[in-house]
Structure 1
């Protein structure tokens, strides 16, 4: 527990810091008598001076907090008048437990520690005003009064430290839990789980769905700071990616609402990295974008950023590589008996001729040859194919077969 850690850090200094005072019995009685009034005034002062607590301290909640303040003050008085051989940790445990839970509560409410620490400072001032009036009226020595003040502020320090620890622990726990929920959501998105399942997981992870998600595959080593550039709704996963071997060391980011005219922002953010970018899809269909990005791994393109929206033809033509290879063999069967170099040159010429719709000069410019060379090669091709070069079905098969260079 937190109070154990607080005293473990320096047992000797804590023992000296919280050594008890020898107070007359009547002074102890007077101090105990003012506890209810002191607790009430402390809560009132905090309500006035720490505006964010005004609502929290109203009604039944205010009474609960006042009781907690009263308990803390009792713990302090027991600490101040305890026997010298008693254990300060045991005396403080309940108060420190309460302070720890207060810190956790602030984190759960989404607040920083600023308000609670301000409340402690206000409480210390008000409590000391009430306590000092009593001990001064009792005629205690200046040294005793000074020691009493030291104890008050040492006590507040311990309460503050305990609350800070509770706040940090709750944030860490909440962050870890939410991260697990987000990771589960990403896995469900990539697996194409039903929309109802995805919505339930998004709600549990406190993740507000965007209109679209775009899958981006990058090397895991290049993800540092990348998600932050796309906004808080960006999802990321670096382990157990479907269809990816662990040895590939890839990560996926699901980027919100960067479609259409915003696509350029995505490319700008990825500059300096190698990335495969899927299409923007409605967020419940993110699996489609992810699969497209995975497919882009098979493209032989000399580009750092491969945007699949710009390479749809290549993706279609390589969707079934075995079928493409069979089609290529069938469509280029007339060239099979030629020498390899001759067959390659004619296939290259036929591809350019199809893509340039038979414009001889354009084909010559594309292949860096003379127009007469193009004419000669096309004569050879017409002899090999005959009338089939005028058949629409043959033209379609040749165009697909030669659409992606081998």
Structure 2
């Protein structure tokens, strides 16, 4: 009986070696299938695989599959490198803000896919149920081992990071702003992890410090405000609309910063709203918008739209100013001033005179100059619309330095 058992063990070892040889050409496709199924079944992993995120996931799966096949052929094969990869993977998952349940679920999915492929190969190659049963035990034990290593890495990273909650909250804000959008389930799970109630609507705030904020700077913001202030483009996310009381609290917490408040939007529109707020800050720097301490993007949407395409804006300016070639700078300035008054007053002489602070007779003289310069364009509604657009994208205020107007008190606000 003992001899029979020894013979079966020897046969199993030979067959396992054959299985390893058969599996090696399939390693890459198995790894790809595991990654695809993890992303399909677990919403938190449905992000694009470009960059460090994708490299970490793929490397972890590839090392796991390769090592298991290597151990089938040679049980003494070293696990040191694979353990290090999966320990780092566990650390990375903690820093990304994913939960232990999510990490363990990924390992279970990986084991299921790998086992499914081994069963297919085993059946095609005629392996006995005894050998396949032994392989099943080995596979489950192997995946438990790697999952345990990743868990150790996860807990190590958590223990070493006193700022773990802040890290997760910043990660949550990043996830909300991602494009393409992250799955709502991924956002909700991370929100639950950090104790943040996901609102139906939210307001992003673009922050422009007068001086760079230090990494250790922790303003006393409300607990429900998500913040990322240490990056190149500091930003906040406020649940719901920004009330007067909330705005006062933000100004007090960030006393030497200009704030651009985006429109309050549903959660899937937050990234666009933040983009508009950032554009408003840029237009303040360019002198297009007044240098207020707080800029409300909702109040200047037409200006943001007009300046949303810089190349197109320059083209509009060029077409307008080309009509004034040959004039001196002073003559051109007066012509543009008259054209603006003509459009604002809808051609009424008295209204134009009031706007220009000149005599109506002077207005009639200037109108003859307008007619000579722009001709039929003044009578064409589409051409008039284009002229007004072009006038509105011309700079009307001197360029401001970014910090000069808000390093002190906020008496320039609204």
Structure 1 or 2: larger helix share? Answer: 1
Report the TM-score, using the length of structure 1 for normalisation. 0.50
- Report which of the two structures shows the higher radius of gyration computed on alpha carbons: 1
- Compare relative contact order (CA 8 Å, sep 6+) and give the higher one, 1 or 2: 2
